[in-house]
Chains A and B, each alone.
Chain A
């Protein structure tokens, strides 16, 4: 088995890289794939928290790199999904503790046993980001429909192109359909037109994400909310399926919908 190493990155912080990494990992594992998620945000780890694995960390990626344990001793297996593992970051070191060659070596080894290796990149464009993309076969850029995030994404895409790893594919996260309808938020077309790269998916802002993070159970375990459905659609697109984009984000508001909303509100 030779899996695909996909780095999830953004430039700007707070756009949802970690949430998307966790949820894509869960969604792909639910689809029967072997997945290992790597938290590359060394010194500021939180993928383990989102995935509810914090209390089970014994070794971390820095221990692996510095030879204190074998790679497989540091992997934490998900309690529900046997195909899902996490390689946690260290909280006590900083980003210089791991270099690009270490990252490439870890990815190469994990590729042998996984269909997907998902790397959660730290924010920024420095050392940590460079490490996170060093082992990647593919790159996913996450942005929100805000001017500052889109600008950061543009910068990141430029840096990724410079490494020869292609422009990557885009996820627009935390879109608020109501605001788009009012014309107060950039819509999908604005963002795509600006960044000019392939769109992998659009996920709406969803309060359930915060609840899920608090509980340490990624939303993608259930498909009941719009954001969760969006993550599953993205996972299926990664597997090469043609999944249509959810209509609510792209289509203008119909009179019927507006009426429904009015009645709902009153």
Chain B
């Protein structure tokens, strides 16, 4: 059944994540109703983060969705959308817009891709006060200065000095990694873990490193090149 692929329901740390893809809205809603009905007790009382991509949604359409969710005793807590039209509809209904947004609203940062599931490549230095938020992987060619932050759903690669704050796997992925030519972040977060760089200055030559979660801690290791 081809339509089935247009609805994705996932459990995440923050609750239920529902992605509605292309296709006729009414048909999507009917199908969602059926799928939620199949596992009614499982979804009972869940909170939902809805992803609708670029789709423009009328306020009335969103209301229909909310009432279907309510029938299954599910609450819509946030909407993640790249459509301003849909964002307005959500705000009119008091539905929060979810972070991380695919495109940062901070001055000077533009996303080079519209699709939040794609990786984001940025060829510039992120300066203090600039924030980059992206649901996918992030690659920076340049430095990330102290006071700048990157929040990514996936991995973060910095071809340069990483001295700001980075949160990889921000949607709950503890498997995410962070690597940089010089890995000295103010703070490093992977999934639900937080670490700070060792305060002593490294006397040895600085080398590329990869950070990941190992046995419940964030560990940085030299890039072996293997």
The tally of residues in B whose CB lies under 8 Å from a CB in A reads 11
Question: Which B residues touch A194, using CB under 8 A?
Answer: 145
With A151-B128, A196-B125: A158-B146 Cβ-Cβ less than 8 Å:
no
User: Contact at A155–B143, with CB atoms within 8 Å?
Assistant: no
Tell me the chain A residues, 123-164 only, with Cβ under 8 Å from chain B: 125, 151-152, 154-155, 157-159, 161-163
Closest chain-A Cβ to B149's Cβ sits at a distance in Å of 12
User: Contact at B146–A151, with CB atoms within 8 Å?
Assistant: yes
User: Contact at B147–A151, with CB atoms within 8 Å?
Assistant: yes
Interface string of B135-165 (1 = CB under 8 A from A): 0000000010111000000000000000000
Closest chain-A Cβ to B180's Cβ sits at a distance in Å of 16
Chain A interface size, under 10 / 10 to 19 / 20 to 34 / 35 or more: 10 to 19
A196 and B125 CA atoms in complex are apart in Å by 9
Q: Which residue of B lies closest to A161 (CB)?
A: B108
Query: Which of B108, B143, B146, B147 gathers most chain A CB within 10 Å?
Result: B108
B94 is an interface residue with CB less than 8 A from chain A: no
A162 and B130 CA atoms in complex are apart in Å by 10
B55 is an interface residue with CB less than 8 A from chain A: no
Question: Which A residues touch B37, using CB under 8 A?
Answer: none
With A151-B128, A196-B125: A158-B143 Cβ-Cβ less than 8 Å:
no
**Which residues from chain A sit less than 8 Å from chain B, CB to CB?**
125, 151-152, 154-155, 157-159, 161-163, 194, 196
23 contacts between A and B (CB under 8 A): A125-B129, A151-B128, A151-B147, A152-B128, A154-B127, A154-B145, A155-B127, A155-B128, A155-B129, A155-B147, A157-B127, A158-B107, A158-B108, A158-B128, A158-B130, A159-B107, A159-B108, A159-B129, A161-B108, A161-B127, A162-B107, A162-B108, A194-B145
User: Contact at B128–A154, with CB atoms within 8 Å?
Assistant: yes
Q: Which residue of B lies closest to A11 (CB)?
A: B128
A151 and B130 CA atoms in complex are apart in Å by 12
Question: Which A residues touch B125, using CB under 8 A?
Answer: 196
Tell me the chain B residues, 109-141 only, with Cβ under 8 Å from chain A: 125, 127-130
Query: Which of B108, B128, B147 gathers most chain A CB within 10 Å?
Result: B128
A159 and B109 CA atoms in complex are apart in Å by 10
Closest chain-A Cβ to B91's Cβ sits at a distance in Å of 25
A to B contact number (C-beta, < 8 Å): 32
Closest chain-A Cβ to B100's Cβ sits at a distance in Å of 19
Question: Which B residues touch A157, using CB under 8 A?
Answer: 127
A157 and B124 CA atoms in complex are apart in Å by 13
A169 and B33 CA atoms in complex are apart in Å by 60
Question: Which B residues touch A158, using CB under 8 A?
Answer: 107-108, 127-130
Q: Which residue of A lies closest to B107 (CB)?
A: A162
Query: Which of B107, B125, B127, B146 gathers most chain A CB within 10 Å?
Result: B127
Closest chain-B Cβ to A150's Cβ sits at a distance in Å of 9
Q: Which residue of B lies closest to A125 (CB)?
A: B129
A158 and B127 CA atoms in complex are apart in Å by 6
User: Contact at B107–A196, with CB atoms within 8 Å?
Assistant: no
Closest chain-A Cβ to B59's Cβ sits at a distance in Å of 33
Q: Which residue of B lies closest to A147 (CB)?
A: B146
Q: Which residue of B lies closest to A164 (CB)?
A: B108
A162 and B143 CA atoms in complex are apart in Å by 17
A194 and B148 CA atoms in complex are apart in Å by 13
A194 and B161 CA atoms in complex are apart in Å by 10
Question: Which A residues touch B147, using CB under 8 A?
Answer: 151, 154-155
Question: Which B residues touch A151, using CB under 8 A?
Answer: 128, 146-147
Question: Which A residues touch B146, using CB under 8 A?
Answer: 151, 154
A210 and B143 CA atoms in complex are apart in Å by 38
Question: Which A residues touch B143, using CB under 8 A?
Answer: 196
Question: Which A residues touch B108, using CB under 8 A?
Answer: 158-159, 161-162
Closest chain-A Cβ to B203's Cβ sits at a distance in Å of 14
Interface string of B29-73 (1 = CB under 8 A from A): 000000000000000000000000000000000000000000000
Question: Which B residues touch A159, using CB under 8 A?
Answer: 107-108, 129
Q: Which residue of A lies closest to B109 (CB)?
A: A162
A226 and B108 CA atoms in complex are apart in Å by 38
Closest chain-A Cβ to B104's Cβ sits at a distance in Å of 11
Question: Which A residues touch B145, using CB under 8 A?
Answer: 154, 194
